[in-house]
Structure 1
């Protein structure tokens, strides 16, 4: 006989959504720009436009936590490796001639930081960001791998809540890589451990431990 408490405990807990998404099809570039202007900059939703498809995504807690924690890891790496960085967060990246508009979770200039230091980036004349991070835990209809490949972003990280995929641009096409070209010292296991420890030990303690580990590796 199953007791009431056992029956309640046996019911699986529904996992909260990480993102809310709405996808619109057959949207013109002009309509996309009008929607951008109408929504303005002070909004939670992020817009991605590619191949006539417009996705409006609102990030929720799991999404934002993963994005922020990976962003912290990237900043720790640049600090300890003495690399300059220009962080553009979810800045709208538009390439009108290719009809591409993206608002990634994180967007960085590192190798090309001197070329865009102290200026507003214009992708018509400036190089694309060196590293882009996208957190996509729920399904997206946008082919972001193809989109960033077309934008010629040298390194693209994609995290789905459990797995990190690193894509490196080689002869115009992305190839999945076990390591980062920007941070050769970094392994995926280090990323997973960092994210896990943020949950169990807190972000401050995790950052301190990660910094100490990096310093020890650099000194070897």
Structure 2
């Protein structure tokens, strides 16, 4: 019988509670996923024997919802298409890796997966994945999502927004999102700061800003400095 060590992250709890299991087989990981079901609030991350179960708390969910709204506004105002995946399990048995991100989106590849139930052995990975990690995570998510082939990853720790673009299997940090090159990082910070006081005003301000930038750029979504 295999003994699985259990580690509880005891740092001051803000955005998430985390529990880590080590030396866990892929089969055990899949059995836990099945037992929890699709509607559970926990997010599971598996990386070659290590399973981290994350339970989002209020601060985490606040930022997750608002970043999702931020992306939705950009997609609508820029006239793009989108398939939202939420925290759908992204798993590859051949890689022994699995993830349940805060949000995942097909934008560039939306047409390829429209109306389909995603299977990563046949379908492309999401074009954009968002992770909010207020507290420390024991899973190397840059390596995890790079191995899953996700082209663009956003990470937010409650203070800093980092944008990563996959280049030859390795993430490179970028100042602008490859998906939304019109939008500088300052706009997300401004959006979140305003939303803490008034979410409706934050949404209206962002929509107005995107419309004004498109008018200035003659409809182009590229940033004009």
Mapped to 2, the partners of 1:40 and 1:217 lie a distance apart of 43
Match of 1:9? Answer: none
Mapped to 2, the partners of 1:159 and 1:16 lie a distance apart of 17
Mapped to 1, the partners of 2:150 and 2:60 lie a distance apart of 22
Cα RMSD for the two superposed structures: 0.9
Structure 1 residues 139-165: Cα deviation after superposition (integer angstroms, max 9, x where no partner): 000000000011110000000000011
Mapped to 2, the partners of 1:134 and 1:192 lie a distance apart of 16
Aligned with residue 23 of structure 1, among 20, 24, 29: 20
Match of 1:169? Answer: 166
SS of alignment partner, residue 61 of structure 2: helix
TM-score (norm 1): 0.91
2:164·2:173 contact (CA, 8 Å) conserved in 1?
yes
Pair 1:213-2:209 in alignment: yes
CA 1:116–1:194 in 2, change beyond 3 Å: closer, same or farther? same
Mapped to 1, the partners of 2:212 and 2:33 lie a distance apart of 46
CA 1:33–1:16 in 2, change beyond 3 Å: closer, same or farther? closer
Pair 1:160-2:139 in alignment: no
Match of 2:77? Answer: 80
Structure 1 residues 90-114: Cα deviation after superposition (integer angstroms, max 9, x where no partner): 0011111111110000000000000
Gaps of 5+ in 2: 1-11, 217-225
How far apart are residue 42 of structure 1 and its match? 2.2
The total of aligned residue pairs comes to 205
Spell out structure 1 runs of 4+ moving beyond 3 A. none
TM-score (norm 2): 0.89
